[in-house]
Structure 1
Amino acid sequence: MAKAQESPLQLAASAAWAKGAVDPVALDVSTRLALSDTFLIVSGRSERNTRAIADGIEEELLSDGVKLLRREGKADGRWILLDFGGLVVHIFHDEERGFYALERLWKDCPVLPLDLPAEPSAASE
């Protein structure tokens, strides 16, 4: 059961990548934010894609025993927020990601490494 040894961050990033997420960035916000330790920020190419990414992340983390505390924005699919407590996932449509620029707002936070394959899964296209 290698999956059980992976962190929620890595599980979420891998699930997002498998659904065609682009430009994943993980930030350690633990010293700047009391409510969470890590942000995972990814983009989707369409509202349908962002919803599929959110579903994939939720399914993967639930199967690993990580409970979703809050979900916002799924109906619109432009900025979906999944709150798992220590991990908050932001799934943006490309346009919204550029507009809100969370990476710029949190630029003082360390970027965390993600172990992802060079190319996303061809099945997600």
Structure 2
Amino acid sequence: MSATENAITIAKLAAQAAADKLGTDIVAFDVSDHLAITDIFLVVSASNERQVGAVVDGVEEQLLKHQIKPVRREGDRENRWVLLDYIDVVVHVQHTEERELYSLERLWKDCPHIELDVNYGRPDEADQSQA
């Protein structure tokens, strides 16, 4: 079994929203063959606690525009590792130190990666370059 198209769409929306808020090292893993509870893990890094919060807020705001709400949000008190559970997609926004320490990529290295096609330029900068 592989991730559903709906899960992939949600992951891509969340990934772009994270990039727009300066999230980095964004990767997605299709964990559907290994876990029954979700299809995709999306992992994002941020350089400090404030940035983690901004990325989380950006992801939530973008997905709410599509009437997609998280069923659970954990870790937002410390803003070192925040988990947003959208059932089909679980978004992990991690401080770079936590990302290095817990190394989710190593844990899920056997899972297929999902191509996200993320534009890391800020949306307002892209608009100015086309003018």
TM-score (norm 2): 0.86
What amino acid is the match of 2:104? L
The partner residue of 1:106 within 105, 108, 127 is 108
Residue 51 of structure 2 aligns with which residue? Answer: 49
Residue 3 of structure 1 aligns with which residue? Answer: none
Pairwise CA distance, 1:115:
1.2
Residue 86 of structure 2 aligns with which residue? Answer: 84
Q: Would you identify which runs of 4 or more consecutive aligned residues in structure 1 move more than 2 Å?
A: none
Q: Which has the larger radius of gyration?
A: 2
Matches within 5 A, 1:12-23: 12-23=14-25
Is 1:75 paired with 2:77? Answer: yes
Pairwise CA distance, 1:18:
0.1
Pairwise CA distance, 1:68:
0.7
Name the CA shift for 1:116/1:78 in 2 (closer, same or farther; >3 Å). Answer: same
Tell me how far apart the structure 2 counterparts of residues 73 and 123 of structure 1 sit (CA, whole Å). 30
Tell me how far apart the structure 1 counterparts of residues 63 and 91 of structure 2 sit (CA, whole Å). 12
Pairwise CA distance, 1:120:
3.0
TM-score (norm 1): 0.90
RMSD of equivalent CA atoms: 1.6
SS for the counterpart of 1:111 is coil
- The gaps in structure 2 that reach 5 residues or longer are 1-7, 126-131
Tell me how far apart the structure 1 counterparts of residues 124 and 51 of structure 2 sit (CA, whole Å). 13
Tell me how far apart the structure 1 counterparts of residues 121 and 56 of structure 2 sit (CA, whole Å). 16
What amino acid is the match of 2:22? G
Pairwise CA distance, 1:19:
0.1
- The gaps in structure 1 that reach 5 residues or longer are 1-5
Deviations 1:74-118 (A, max 9, x none): 11010000000000000000000000000100111000001112x
Residue 5 of structure 2 aligns with which residue? Answer: none
Tell me how far apart the structure 2 counterparts of residues 21 and 123 of structure 1 sit (CA, whole Å). 16
Matched residue pairs, number? 118
Tell me how far apart the structure 2 counterparts of residues 122 and 22 of structure 1 sit (CA, whole Å). 15
What amino acid is the match of 1:104? R
